[in-house]
Each structure stands twice: as structure tokens, then as C-alpha cells.
Structure 1
Amino acid sequence: MTNTDDKQAVNGLYPRLVVSDGPRAVDFYRSVFGAEEVERYTDPDGRIVHAMLRIGGVPVALKDEADGDPAPTTLGGSPVIIAVDVADPDAVADAMVRGGATVVHPVADHPYGQRGGRLADPFGHMWMVFRTTEDLTPEEIQERTTRMHT
């Protein structure tokens, strides 16, 4: 239980994506997810030091890579997967591929009640796009997941 007077209380949380080409990334997320750019701050060379987007009402920040902040493409990938619940994962995946993303796992129906797939965007970030196809209890999901892995 969190005490409202706790100095460690969380007041907000959002991902901050480091990318190799900030302006192109903003355009990609705008095209694929309908992102709205809320703010953008650049250095004298025009590199993004902070941009705030809204994707489906959720804040997502991004910045160009710089000293101490390497992009996944510089690191050889990222272990973080951003999950996005969308109306049509097939259409979103197609738009991502048209924008330069790579399919990691094609969009398909899954026994745990979702249709979805995983893609790597052109900037090295992993995205799972999905929609729920069945309302299952946690027990049903666990049972189906166990069957998938046996």
C-alpha cells in the first residue's frame, strides 16, 4: 500500500525511446500509430533532445541517441517489448512494414485469446501489436499457455 505522503510515490510513468533519427521516428510513429507530437526540443544541430508524443492517449517520449544514450540499433537490439492493443493488428503490422519495420513474429491467432504479432521498428524498438479475440479467465489463459509449451 502506498502512503500519499511517501517521497517515493510515483506521479507518472512513460517510456523514453532513444532512436538514431528522431525526426524520421516521429514521422514513423505518426504514420503507424497516429501519434500526436505534443512537444519537441532540439539542440543547435537540429537533433531531438526531447520530443513528447501521445499514442492512443499514452505519453511516449523520444530522443536522438547521444553520448551515454545509445539507440538499440547501436547496441544490436533491445530486450524491451512495447505492447500495443490495437483495433486491427494486421493493418498496423502492414503499416509498420511499409514504414520500414521488420516482422519478428507474424500476426496470427493465439490460443491465449489474442491475435497479434511482433515487429522491430526501423529504430530497433520491439513492438507487440495485438487485440483480444476471446475473453478468458486467468486460469483458462494459464491452461492454454501450458498446453502450448508441452
Structure 2
Amino acid sequence: MSHITALYPRLVVDGADAALDFYARALDGSVTERFTGPDGRVVHSVVEAGPARFAVKDAGDGDPAPTGDGVPVIMSLDVSDADAVAERMLGAGATVIFPLADHGYGQYAGRLRDPYGHQWLISQRVEELTPEQIQERVG
């Protein structure tokens, strides 16, 4: 029987080295793996920020980076201090899509776009609610 041992997102970007610098600074993380192909493009790298882990690679080999307003994935990042994380991301070059706000269903959250086209939902739990309470407030 097969078991899942890990699941993490892979972000495809144009300019992986600059993206790695952005993600490390914006998320107070570090690049723990970085591998390049013969042409110097990053074919695999890993950023770790707290318990979160995700991969970044340069576009190519059939993997396109997002263009325009295309959103192949939204990164959902649960944090203990949404304002601090958003401030670091904005300071590193992210832009606001939806400002941080209390959404009434137990989350203080907003959405940012990084300089490489990926969207990040920054979320902080501010109230413990049951699934039924959340549904009532959302619906």
C-alpha cells in the first residue's frame, strides 16, 4: 500500500533566483534546496518558512509561469500575525488584491499578489467557530 509522505506546492516563475530572494525575505524563510539545469535555470528549489515548505522553479520544460491575471494556484498561508506577514510581503514587492480585513467567520485575511503573478491568501484565525457557525456566517 502506498502512503502520501508530503504535499507541497510548486510555483513556476520567470526569474526563480529573484523569486527565491523575494519569498525568503517576504516570509522570513530560507532557501534549503536549489538545483539548476545545464543552462543555469532553476529546475527545483525549496523555501522553508516556519512549518511551511514550497518549491520554486523557472518556467520551461512545459511548465509555464502565470501571465497577466492568470492564477494557476492560490497559496493559502495561515499565520499568527497577518499584519506582520502582509507588511513584510508588501515591503518586499507584493501588491494588495484584497486588503486584510475581519471577515466575520473567524478569519482576519486578505490577498496579495507577489511580483511573479502568484496570489497569497494571508489568514489569521481570530475566533474559534464550529463548521456550522462558519456556514451560518458565510451563507
Give the TM-score of the pair, scaled to structure 1: 0.85
Pairing partner for 1:69 from 38, 63, 72: 63
Aligned sequence identity (%): 51
How far off is 1:10 after superposition?
Answer: 2.3
The number of aligned residues is 139
SS of the aligned residue for 2:8 comes to coil
Query: 1:42 matched to which residue of 2?
Result: 36
Query: 2:79 matched to which residue of 1?
Result: 86
- The answer on whether the counterparts of 2:66 and 2:72 sit within 8 Å (CA) in structure 1 is no
Query: 2:16 matched to which residue of 1?
Result: 22
SS of the aligned residue for 1:40 comes to strand
Pairing partner for 1:101 from 71, 94, 101: 94
SS of the aligned residue for 2:112 comes to strand
Structure showing greater radius of gyration is: 1
How far off is 1:76 after superposition?
Answer: 4.0
CA RMSD, aligned part only? 1.5
- Structure 1 unaligned runs (5+)? none
**In structure 2, distance between residues paired with 1:140 and 1:47:** 48
**In structure 2, distance between residues paired with 1:13 and 1:87:** 22
- Structure 2 unaligned runs (5+)? none
Pairing partner for 2:115 from 116, 122, 127: 122
**In structure 1, distance between residues paired with 2:102 and 2:69:** 29
